[in-house]
Structure 1
Amino acid sequence: MALKATIYKAVINIADMDRNFFYDANLTLAQHPSETEQRMMLRLLAWICHADEHLSFTRGLSAEDEPEIWRKNDHNGIELWIELGLPDEKRLKKACNQSREVVLYAYGERAARVWWSQIEGKVRGFENLRIRYIDDEMLTQLTAFGSRTMDLQATLQDGTIWLSDAQSNLEIHFSEWKESIVKEAR
């Protein structure tokens, strides 16, 4: 018998001061049986960082030809491709060729640093690729917010994310390993 996805519900109030964007979202996240809670919460955080009405989760781990999250335009073209983890150069090149902007959220401290030292020179020319890294300690603190039903508030300003629920607050920072020269379109 195949394992089924675990369903999470998240009500999120977002105040993105950098984009002057304010949004209330009701999200349903399906945690794939092979996905850790840390990865699922990072996926949610990535969604929060780029939130808008057209941003959507894809089939994720169930589909090799799709990112974790994307935003498509009215002509079904991919405007934003969001990946998680440590993909190979071939996958990143494919993403950069198919989307106007690609953002990768890297995690897993030991493996990520080795991966970055091996791939940094290969992806330097991918002008529409941005790589953000979250360290293990911060990811563990983020994961503490995970529950089957979440009610979260997120404020984004100057590269900092303040995430809170009824019990806790967390200030989140990413290390910017690679900047994109493409600015996110609205």
Structure 2
Amino acid sequence: MALKATIYKATVNVADMDRNVFIDNTLTLARHPSETEERLMLRLLAWLVHANERLTFTRGLSAEDEPEVWQLNDHGGIDVWIDLGLPDERRIKKACSRSQHVWLYTYNWRAAQPWWQQHQNKLAQHDNLTIRYLNDEQLSALTRLASRSMMLQATIQDGTIWLSDDNNHLEIQFEQWLEAGKRT
């Protein structure tokens, strides 16, 4: 018998001072049987960082041709493509050709650092690609917020994310590995 996804509900309040975006929303996240809770929470964090009314979760791990999160425009084109992990270069190239902006959130230092060293020169050729890394300590703290029913408050200012629930308060900062439009 096939394993079914585990459903998580997150009631979120986002105050993004950097983009002047303020959203209250209830999100439903399906955790694929092969997905870790760390990855689920990073997917939720990515949604919070880019929050807007058009941003949606996709079929994720169940669909090879879709990112984890995306924002479609009125014409069915992809404005924002958000992926997680360490995808191969072909997937990133395809995403960059299909979307206005591609965001990749990496994690797990032992795997991410060698991947980055191997691919950074080729990835820097994509002008619409931004890559951020979340260190293991912050990801572990983020994962402690996970529950099947979450109520989270996110405040974002100057690139820092303050995330809290009733009992925990986190300060999260990504390490910027590559920023769209800014190449050295």
Q: Shorter-chain TM-score: what band?
A: over 0.9
- 2:168 corresponds to 1:157: no
State the alpha-carbon separation in 1 of the partners of residues 50 and 21 from structure 2: 10
**Structure 1 alignment gaps of length 5 or more:** none
How many residue pairs align between the two structures? Answer: 182
State the alpha-carbon separation in 2 of the partners of residues 108 and 66 from structure 1: 22
TM alignment of 1:15-164, pairs within 5 A = 15-164=15-164
Q: Give every structure 1 segment of 4 or more consecutive aligned residues whose post-TM-superposition deviation is greater than 2 Å.
A: none
State the alpha-carbon separation in 2 of the partners of residues 121 and 20 from structure 1: 34
Q: Which residue of 1 aligns with 2:6?
A: 6
Q: Which residue of 2 aligns with 1:179?
A: 179
Amino acid at match of 2:7: I
State the alpha-carbon separation in 2 of the partners of residues 89 and 20 from structure 1: 33
% of aligned pairs identical? Answer: 64
Deviation at 1:18, TM superposition (A): 0.5
Amino acid at match of 1:17: M
State the alpha-carbon separation in 2 of the partners of residues 86 and 97 from structure 1: 18
- Give TM-score, length-normalised by structure 2: 0.98
Provide the secondary structure at the position in 1 that maps to 2:67.
coil
State the alpha-carbon separation in 2 of the partners of residues 25 and 144 from structure 1: 21
Q: Deviations over 1:70-90 (max 9, x none)?
A: 000000000000000001111
Provide the secondary structure at the position in 2 that maps to 1:120.
helix
Deviation at 1:51, TM superposition (A): 0.4
Amino acid at match of 1:49: V
Provide the secondary structure at the position in 1 that maps to 2:112.
helix
Deviation at 1:111, TM superposition (A): 0.6
Deviation at 1:176, TM superposition (A): 0.1
Provide the alpha-carbon RMSD of the alignment: 0.7
State the alpha-carbon separation in 2 of the partners of residues 22 and 58 from structure 1: 22
Provide the secondary structure at the position in 1 that maps to 2:145.
coil
- Give TM-score, length-normalised by structure 1: 0.97
Provide the secondary structure at the position in 2 that maps to 1:139.
helix
Deviation at 1:181, TM superposition (A): 1.6
